[in-house]
Structure 1
Amino acid sequence: MAGISFSVAPGEIFGLLGRNGAGKTSTISAIAGLRRPDEGRITVLGEDALVRTDVLRASLALQPQQASLFPRLTVRETLETWAALYPVPRDVDALLDEIGLAEKAGARAARLSGGQQQRLLLATALVGDTPVVVLDEPTTGLDPHARHAVWDLIRRAQAGGTTFLLTTHAMAEAEEMCDRLAVLHEGRMVAAGSPTELIARHAPGGVVSVRTGDAGLADRVRARFGDVMTAVESTGRSGRTRFEVTADDPHATAAWITGLDAGADVRPRPATLEDVFLRLTGTPLGSGTEQEEKR
């Protein structure tokens, strides 16, 4: 990894956005003290995290992506175990109420649903009442209801003053949760800012979405627009092709493309964070492998 430099303000939710293998987990592992960077400097609350490891342990909690629970411990025992690791932890009963698991306090972790287990895992990171919490893809694999429940827990903790650094490759999560974020690609940081700032900077006009049966249309559009055109995708047996173009004037661009193929489905729309990501990296989220992410 190289060229990664960012700061997180107190009380902020800061995201690291990138596909698998981009370097997200390696970055937060270094910040959390699980691996030592070859060069550079990491500070947590103004202290050198590579030297003042005592400060790091007392001020930062981490929920790794591959975190798991002790299956035979109850929900209460789980939180009490983690609380014992910190000098001034949160009240376990109050936290059980907050995460909606008070009625499950005596249930073994293995008996919880997937969403309940994820809430309990997040609670193990919150129970220490540390000023900084680092979450590695905290909602991966959750259904929409469980995902929103986790988001609500994070927002409530943020309202109480907790600072969050989280990784994600879920575009909705980045746009919904992050005050600011950095986009990582192949071990480098390629952009940073709020979701609104990134859209305004890299896709200020909008996007034109095209579906066409003309196999040559994509090549003609690419000849004019070049690298602002996303990858061409075939829609299979229908024989139709889909692509998108980032444009300063999406309506004028849509009219120009329609002039080339009147039968094409051409739709101008506002840009999203996903459009920015595709333009910056040239790859869709979700590509790559989990093994690559751990490099």
Structure 2
Amino acid sequence: MRYADFEAVAGISFSVAPGEIFGLLGRNGAGKTSTISAIAGLRRPDAGQVRILGEDALVRTDLLRASLALQPQQASLFPRLKVRETLETWAALYPAPRDVDALLDEIGLAEKAGARSARLSGGQQQRLLLATALVGDTPVVVLDEPTTGLDPHARHAVWDLIRRAQAGGTTFLLTTHAMAEAEEMCDRLAVMHEGRVVAAGSPAELIARYASGGVVSVRTDRADLADQVRARHGDAVTAVESAGRSGRTRFEVTADDPHATAAWITGLDPAADVRPRPATLEDVFLRLTGTSLEPTSDMASEQEGMR
């Protein structure tokens, strides 16, 4: 898929099994939102197929509308509608929606049913937005950055809602650039980079494949230390950056034997802060893309979306 001369998505392919939570993981601009826009029927891909429940969704648009619900990244609520009115409005769009009062109880907003959505807290609004995607009781739900900007408590509340819906048989496709969310929530995921899928599998499989052993985190006053380590370890050295006003350099190294690697780096610079640790999905991401993560979730939204 292209936007003028920019190729946002280039020849990707993946499948989502019934009843699983599948994640699209990538930086802003990786192509995630463009991909789900095509899946949800908001944009027609330049080539290829989108199949929902085994049917061609580009042809069977009626099936797509009845089978898939979408919560966009920049979704918003009608501020003057009350909570129950909001869900009743969305429920009316589907042939066999869930019971609104039961869903309100499940999302913990039964006591707020008569409140206007504008008066809800940020976490409550996000739960209500998720409920608008769940109220249709569709077999497939697509969520674009469902927890962006939420505090840890609100984020875990949304995770719990998603897990309960999955236990009831709902299949989820979600996008995120939050590594902890992907590792915690996703049964399988695909890592996207510059419009392509560069790896796919379960979080555990990806960690074992691309960051087996562990990681060594290093902070040093020597600006040349990262180059010395890279000369021996190549692209296993990632996340090289200056550590603020102190001028210290921070970098990480994936290694089969992180303790031995830590000892070797300490020999190069005894004053460095060198810490071996187990690998995470974030380490896999850095290894695959060669880039750092967005520092905060309140940065500018993805520029890959529809324009």
Q: Shift in Å at residue 40 of structure 1?
A: 0.7
Distance 2:114 2:300 in 1: 37
- Which has the higher relative contact order, 1 or 2, with Cα contacts under 8 A spaced 6 or more apart? 1
Instruction: Report the residue type matching 2:281 in the other structure.
Output: L
1:146 match: 154
Task: Find the partner of 1:245 among 243, 253, 268.
Answer: 253
Matches within 5 A, 1:123-142: 123-142=131-150
Asked if the contact 2:226–2:237 (Cα under 8 Å) also holds between the matched residues in 1, the reply is no
Q: In structure 2, what is the Cα distance between the partners aligned to 1:245 and 1:291?
A: 29
Number of residues of Structure 1 aligned to a counterpart in Structure 2? 295
- Partner-residue secondary structure (3-state), 2:84: helix
1:255 aligns with 2:263: yes
| 1:205 match | 213
Question: Which digits, 9 at most, give the CA deviation of each residue in 1:143-197, with x for residues without a partner?
Answer: 1111111100000000000000000011111011000000001111100011000
Q: Take 2:117 and 2:255, find their aligned partners in 1: how far apart are those partners? A: 50
Partner residue, 1:196 = 204
The equivalent residue for 2:303 is 292
The reply on whether 1:226 has 2:234 as its aligned counterpart is: yes
Residue of 45, 50, 61 corresponding to 1:42: 50
Matched, 1:268 2:276: yes
Contact 2:97 2:135 in 1 (8 A): yes
Q: Secondary structure at the match of 2:212?
A: coil
Aligned 8 A contact 1:21 1:289 in 2:
no
Deviation at 1:291, TM superposition (A): 4.9
CA contact (8 A) 1:206 1:248 kept: yes
CA separation in 2, counterparts of 1:67 and 1:242? 37
Q: TM-score, normalised by structure 1?
A: 0.97
Structure 1 residue 270: Cα displacement: 0.7
How much does 1:3 deviate?
Answer: 3.0
SS in 2 for 1:138: coil
Cα distance in 2 for partners of 1:234, 1:280 equals 21
Q: Which residue of 2 aligns with 1:77?
A: 85
Q: Percent identity?
A: 88
The more displaced of 255-264 and 183-192 is 255-264
Deviation at 1:268, TM superposition (A): 1.0
Given that 1:21 and 1:290 are in contact with CA atoms closer than 8 Å, whether structure 2 keeps it comes out as no
| 1:111 aligned onto 2:119 | yes
Alignment gaps of 5+ in structure 2: 1-8
Distance 1:289 1:92 in 2: 34
TM-score by length of 2: 0.94
Give the distance between the partners of 2:120 and 2:36, measured in 1 at CA: 28
Q: Secondary structure at the match of 1:230?
A: strand
2:26: which partner in 1? 18
Aligned partner of residue 243 in structure 1, secondary structure: strand
CA distance in 1, matches of 2:89, 2:139: 19
Question: Cα distance, 1:256 vs. partner?
Answer: 1.0
Q: Which residue in the other structure is 1:66 paired with?
A: 74
The superposition leaves residues 80-112 of structure 1 with CA deviations (integer Å, 9 ceiling, x where unpaired) of 011011111000010000000001101111111
Cα root mean square deviation, aligned: 1.2
* Structure 1 alignment gaps of length 5 or more: none
Q: Alpha carbons of 1:280 and 1:40: their partners in 2 closer, same or farther (altered >3 Å)?
A: same
